Amino acid sequence: MVNDIPFIGLCILTLSLAFVLRKLLSKSQTKNVPKGSLGYPIIGETLEFLRAQRQDKGYEWIQERVSKYGSVFKTSLMGSPTVFIIGQQGNKFVLGSSDDVISAKKPTTLQKILGKQSIAELVGTRHRLVKGEMLKFLKPECLQNYVKKMDELVNTTLLKELKENKTIEVVRLMKKLAYDMTSNILFDIDQPTREILFADFITSFKAIHSLPINLPGTSFWRGQKARARIVEKILPIMNKRREELSKGVLNSTNDMLSCLLAIRDENDEPLDDDVITDNFVFIFVASHDTSATLMTLMIWKLSRDQEVYNKVLEEQMEILKQRKGNEERLTWGEIQKMKYTWRVAQELMRMIPPLFGGFRKALKDTSYQGYDIPKGWQVYWASCGTHMNKDIFENPHKFDPSRFENQTKSIPPFSYLPFGAGSHNCIGNEFARVKTLTTIHNFVKLYEWSQLNPKETITRQPMPYPSLGLPIEIKPRCNMS
């Protein structure tokens, strides 16, 4: 990652960051900060953490440190000292604290790519305003109107894919499907523009978990360039829709971009362009890769587990059998019948959560379990701290979708976190559910398939994907016309 950086530039950057880090650390020397290692200067333990993620050994990386230092430990990631807080009470502390203590502010890399004014960063009244308007497009009563359109889009894409290929790479296909559903349904972006933006979104996302080294050739540098191109292309679309809104040609309920343009704050002022572009990029990245991950892992699991596959197939075929009249497209009512299929998805997200964890930032000196967390330090929560806890999930290493059916033992708050928790939880969780179920319904309805590399492992970069892209051999289902 750093081998391609010119030596002089790296030296200058290292000295600059060392000065900033020294100021942060000098304040902590007199405090009772958690035990742990800050690793190498500036780089900290970032490379070790990312390497463990790529090998899908993030849980082991954390457990190694928990065994040495306890459930609260310090390290240094993405250029900043960081406190890991593991466990249900720790999740509640990090995700449930007020924004003036533990803020949603992210590391430099995430801020530069996703924007400083996305709903992941906004707090207070501005956060509630923007989130509330976005939720108008993501609540169940709105999603009901999207089902048939989503079903048609997935069906058309899959049929085209099979017509052109007998083997497909599922990761590539699911990323494209998730992206098309978001751009088409939420933002009403036309096909040519979608195609132009797609590659830049992929590049931007890859830069999110990288070192904040902004030199030519680095992942961070490429990600910022890609984000700038996205903003450059979306500004003319924003200006056109703003004009159509003012003339009454377009309604704010048409799409999420028009909705953001129509928002007025407490002073009856519109949102700045930066707020709109930041949230445009954030929603695309958040809704695209998390959904694509889950959809891919569903196909991966169905390829490897015959019992689970048979139950999912039976449920989906029963839905088709019960369909009445001339209805050809999926309905909202049918989505609600996919209970077992969704439990499979829930169990996958428990064992291989799309979101491994998340960063917060201490805006003032605070403490947890007797340890001081200095102002300016990052705080990190991790899903595996509760998802793989045997006191919360019995036999946690066993894949068991039934644990989400008629639970006799309810899951404690802040313990099951595929979509986060607290005021900054994922607002698109229901949208992700409908996208995933629509895609799996079409996949098992239309095709039979086999995995070309049965021993393919999972890697995180930073989302979990099959390491080879999940190539499969695919053919039409025999009983389909």
Binding residues for heme: 426
Q: Would you say 383 and 349 are in contact if contact means Cβ atoms under 8 Å apart?
A: no
Ranges of H-type helices in 136-247: 140-143, 147-164, 170-181, 191-206, 219-247
List residues forming the annotated binding site. Answer: 426
Under DSSP, the state recorded for 384 is H
Residue 459's DSSP bridge partners are 465
Closest by CA position to 111, among listed 227, 216, 24, 201: 227
Q: Would you say 422 and 95 are in contact if contact means Cβ atoms under 8 Å apart?
A: yes
Instruction: For residues 420 and 462, give the distance between their C-alpha atoms in angstroms, rounded to a whole number.
Output: 16
In degrees rounded to 5, what are phi and psi of residue 324? -110, 155
Closest by CA position to 392, among listed 404, 417, 410: 410
Report the 10 Å Cβ neighbour count for 193: 15
Ranges of H-type helices in 323-461: 332-336, 339-351, 384-387, 429-446
Under DSSP, the state recorded for 28 is H
Q: Is the dihedral of CA 61, 64, 70, 73 positive or negative?
A: negative
Q: Would you say 471 and 168 are in contact if contact means Cβ atoms under 8 Å apart?
A: yes
Q: State the distance between the two ends of the chain, measured CA to CA, in whole angstroms.
A: 50
Q: Does the bond joining 462 to the residue before it have cis omega, within 30 degrees of 0?
A: yes
Q: Which residues 6+ apart lie within 8 Å of 395 measured at CB?
A: none
Q: For the stretch 49-61, what's the b/e string if a residue is b when 16 or more beta carbons lie within 10 angstroms of its beta carbon?
A: bbebbeebebbeb
Q: Would you say 113 and 281 are in contact if contact means Cβ atoms under 8 Å apart?
A: yes
Burial of 331 (0-12, 13-18, 19+ CB in 10 A): middle
Under DSSP, the state recorded for 420 is -
Instruction: For residues 261 and 272, give the distance between their C-alpha atoms in angstroms, rounded to a whole number.
Output: 9
SS3 371: strand
